[in-house]
Amino acid sequence: MNYWKPSVTVAAVVEQDGRFLLVEEETRDGLRLNQPAGHLDPGESLTQAVVREALEETAHHVEPVAFLGTYMSRYRSEATGIDVTYLRFAFVCRVVMHDTERALDVGIVRAVWLDTDAVRRRADMHRSPLVMRTIDDYLVGRRYPLEMIFTHPSCQYGNV
């Protein structure tokens, strides 16, 4: 029996002075633009994952301040046969500090700060249709308390 499950990812929506923190990254489809985002790793909560991913991809320490929403999208490639459904948990985060000495993850070309118009103009480079959707949701004021996300201690390694 085939068992289907979506890939769980997190994304940090970080705005500062009217600009959003994004990454340019090399993908199978070429250079793409995305929020700091990535997969949930075993043993971590969703909020721990978004903090880790933002640091690894941008060298920015961030703090989640609100839950933005849960988003689902599908990526299908005719060329490679890849067909993945992503379940993305997006968080509004604020920058705590920037570590200028930290190297970025493999595949990340650079972290960039772009205003909304610049992000919209580069829609052809978005890694996912969720890049603009999460920014638009942020801009209309969508925010939910972090307490909406609960992680039972049994999910943390070393806990029973």
Q: What is the pLDDT of residue 147?
A: 96
The superfamily (CATH) of domain 7-145 is Nucleoside Triphosphate Pyrophosphohydrolase (3.90.79.10)
In single-letter form, the type of residue at position 55 comes to L
Cβ atoms of 13 and 134 closer than 8 Å: yes
pTM of the model: 0.92
Q: pLDDT category, 159, cuts 50, 70, 90?
A: low
CA 48-15-134 angle, 5° bins: 75
Extract the tokens encoding 31: 């250079």
- Residue 13, helix vs strand vs coil: strand
Q: Where are the domains of the chain?
A: 7-145
In single-letter form, the type of residue at position 151 comes to T
Each residue's pLDDT tens digit, 33-85: 999 999 999 999 999 999 999 999 999 999 999 999 999 999 887 777 778 89
